[in-house]
Amino acid sequence: MEKLDAQSALAAAVEEVLETMCFTLLLSSSALSGPEAAVPGAGFSNPVTAVLQFEGSPSGEFRLSVPLTVARGVGSGFLGREPGEVSDCQAGEVVCELANMFCGSVLSRLEAETIFHLSHPELAHPELAHPELAHPELAHPELAHPELAHPELAHPELMPAVPAPDGNAVSRLFELEDGFFAASLQFRLVS
Amino acid sequence: MELNVLIVDDSPVMRSFIRRVLDLSGLGIGHCLEAANGEEALILLNANWVDVVLTDINMPVMDGEELLRRMSGHDVLRSIPVVVVSTDRTECRIQKMLSLGAKEYVTKPFSPETLREKLERSLGVFRSPEVFHGEA
């Protein structure tokens, strides 16, 4: 599987879901690499992270990490409420539902003829499980990624392929009006 | 005539989203019942008159496939149109659900217009004068 294909599929799936279901415009997105890609969003402030497994060909894991304030903003679009009316619990449920839709949409773009079985998304807190990956600078990704300020990068299909951490994962950082969130797709190696 | 709808999805926020879309659809929604899985849906279907069922596939306890099988094997419930709402957009899955008795299949993500169109199409089959009014 070409990494660039998976990157493009991830970018397109996220954009489609946000616009269609949350009435939210994606401002830009960029591929992540290095430690950031290993656990995307590990350094976000107060992140809501949903993880689900998918079985099929290929199999693997999908991870979505959204700062709580951003999750409330996206949730307000999804639920038709003001951000202040979206509870922490509802923000978590919206992130889980988004993870489900993002993953399903990505996989169908990659393998249209394959039936995948998706597990129920579970909330997780990767920065607690991997404290060494909680880089403070990632709480402000715009500082770590000045290239996001360049409008030409709002078109992910034009971006060059960025090496994945182990060659079997793709990770992206997404920018909304309220802030940033991250998603990754980790494919399981078949021996 | 207002429509009574049953939404079957294990995600409370997805049920809320669908409910909001229905409220804004102009279809004239009456009672909007909710179930978190197929088993809960069958209990509600046996106790309430429902005009159309919107169901997810991947749910705990009883999934959408089994719900369709049970409804298809029931003398009364088999006449209720079912619209499947799922992230799975593979053709073989769509064909399987349609062969089990689903009237329409909507893939997530979907626009409010798409859901309304599929609902109307499913109800158009069901709401012929002989069938729909004859049940009253």
| Residue pLDDT, tens place only, A4-35 | 488 999 999 999 999 999 999 999 999 988 77
What's the confidence (pLDDT) of residue A129?
39
Span B47-99, pLDDT tens digits = 999 999 999 998 999 999 999 999 999 999 999 999 999 988 888 889 999 99
The more confidently predicted of residues A113 and A17 is A17
| Residue A100: pLDDT over 80 | yes
Least reliable range by pLDDT among A3-17, A25-39, A144-158, B113-127:
A144-158
CA atoms of B83 and A182, how far apart (whole Å): 32
Search chain B and give the residue with CA nearest A116: B88
Contacts of A96 (CB under 8 A, 6+ apart): A50, A120, A121, A122, A123, B11
| Residue A127: pLDDT over 90 | no
Using a CB-CB distance cutoff of 8 angstroms, which residues of chain B are in contact with residue A94?
13
Contacts of B14 (CB under 8 A, 6+ apart): A97, B56
Strands, E assignment, A36-160: 47-55, 60-67, 117-118, 122-124
Mean pLDDT of B103-116: 92
CA atoms of A152 and A156, how far apart (whole Å): 9
Search chain B and give the residue with CA nearest A107: B88
CA atoms of A37 and A48, how far apart (whole Å): 17
Interface test with A, best of B7, B86, B90 (most A CBs within 10 A): B90
Contact A114, A57 (CB under 8 A): yes
Pairs of residues, one from chain A and one from chain B, whose beta carbons lie less than 8 Å apart: 67
Break chain B into its structural domains and give their ranges: 3-135
Least reliable range by pLDDT among A71-80, A102-111, A172-181:
A102-111
Question: Which residues are registered as beta bridge partners of A52?
Answer: A62
**Predicted-complex ipTM score:** 0.82
Q: Phi/psi at B9 (nearest 5 deg)? A: -160, 140
Distance from CA of B130 to the nearest CA of A (A): 37
For residue A124, the number of C-alpha atoms closer than 13 Å in the C-beta half-sphere is 21
Nearest to A90 among B13, B58, B89 (CB): B13
Q: A50 pLDDT band (50/70/90 cuts)?
A: very high
Axis-axis angle for helices B91-99, B64-72 (nearest 10): 30
Contact B7, B16 (CB under 8 A): no
**Residue range B3-135, CATH number:** 3.40.50.2300
Q: What is the pTM of this model?
A: 0.79
Span A159-171, pLDDT tens digits = 333 334 455 889 9
| Residue B130: pLDDT over 80 | no
CA atoms of B125 and B83, how far apart (whole Å): 12
What's the confidence (pLDDT) of residue A167?
55
Search chain A and give the residue with CA nearest B16: A79
Q: Which two tokens stand for residue B25?
A: 């659809």
CA atoms of B3 and A8, how far apart (whole Å): 41
Task: Specify the residue for token string 């003001």.
Answer: A82
Using a CB-CB distance cutoff of 8 angstroms, which residues of chain A are in contact with residue B60?
120
**In this structure, which CATH number among 3.40.1550.10, 3.40.50.10440, 2.60.40.10, 3.40.50.1860 belongs to the domain A3-187?**
3.40.1550.10
Chain A residues with at least one Cβ partner in B under 8 Å? 16-17, 20-21, 75, 78-80, 90, 93-94, 96-97, 100-101, 103-105, 108, 112-118, 120
Contact B110 A20 (CB under 8 A): yes
CA distances from A174 to A21, A164, A183 (A): 16, 17, 8
Contact A97 B14 (CB under 8 A): yes
- As separate numbers, helices (DSSP H) first and strands (DSSP E) second, chain A gives 6, 7
Task: Specify the residue for token string 């009456």.
Answer: B30
SS3 state at A75: helix
Contact B68, B49 (CB under 8 A): no
Mean pLDDT of A50-65: 93
Break chain A into its structural domains and give their ranges: 3-187
Q: Which two tokens stand for residue A17?
A: 């879901």
Span B17-28, pLDDT tens digits = 999 999 888 888
Nearest to A78 among B13, B90, B93 (CB): B13
| Residue A157: pLDDT over 90 | no
Instruction: Pick the closest to residue A32 from A187, A182, A150 (CA basis).
Output: A182
